[in-house]
Amino acid sequence: MPRASLKNGVALETCSPSRIERKNSTAPIFRIPPILAARRYVSPRLRPITAEEAETRRIAYALKRGEELELAAKEMVFLLPTELPALTLVPLPSSTGSIAANRSLCNAIAAEYGPTARVMSAIKRIIPVESSCFRRRHGMLGLTAADHKFVRAGRWVDMPLFLVDNVATTGATLAAARQVFGFGTGLVFADASPAHLPLVRS
């Protein structure tokens, strides 16, 4: 499994691209890009959650309001490689198309990482969509990568590229964003995607 050298000399395992498949079928739904996540996100609809898991959910929701940025940024920046001459952080649009909350999160991560990290608003949503949270509460399936209607915005961005969001629910948002650029690694505070692999400290 690929590894990345991280801040403070600690190495963490990263997630490899994965095919998410329908139950009892070999047909892939979409391909999830590698995801770096500070924490695991667990829904109370699946099972009773611990106090720590409840705190992760609280912070994830606070990030949508532009709160708890410093706390999240300190954990997320720890996942980024330190040997890169530069890196780009791209805030992903919310279901409404706003990038305000994730851009604030990107700015906080860049401030923690240092001057070689830059923030670029390089992707936008053509039309608003229903959020995954809304759809699941109403018994509907989550969005697929094709549902997101992302297009590039602004000038070309270089590798390495990190696609920043507060939570990865199924991985579809990250998959759709990666299709726009053809590359990119997900960087989220919490990961609920079915392809989630725990990051193992060396």
pTM equals: 0.76
Q: Give the pLDDT of the chain (202 residues) as one tens digit per residue.
A: 233 433 333 333 333 333 222 233 333 333 445 899 999 999 888 889 999 999 999 999 999 999 999 999 999 999 998 878 899 999 999 989 999 999 999 999 999 999 999 999 999 998 877 666 665 665 666 666 677 788 888 777 777 899 999 999 888 899 999 999 989 999 999 998 766 555 544 4
Q: Does 166 fall in a domain?
A: yes
Q: Does 10 fall in a domain?
A: yes
Model pLDDT, residue 132:
65
Burial class of 48 by CB neighbour count within 10 A (0 to 12, 13 to 18, 19+):
exposed
Q: Does 17 fall in a domain?
A: yes
Q: Does 202 fall in a domain?
A: no
Q: Does 25 fall in a domain?
A: yes
Indicate the number of domains in the chain.
Answer: 1
Q: Does 167 fall in a domain?
A: yes
Cis amide bond preceding 2, omega within 30: no
3-state secondary structure 101-159: HHHHHHHHHHHHHCCCEEECCCEEECCCCCCHHHHHHCCCCCCCHHHHCEEECCCCCCC
Q: Does 198 fall in a domain?
A: no
Model pLDDT, residue 6:
39
> Positive or negative CA dihedral for 171, 174, 176, 178?
negative
Model pLDDT, residue 105:
98
Nearest to 141 by CA among 132, 149, 150: 132
Q: Does 108 fall in a domain?
A: yes
Q: Give the range of the structural domain holding residue 179, as residue numbers without chain letter.
A: 3-191
111: number of Cβ within 10 Å: 15
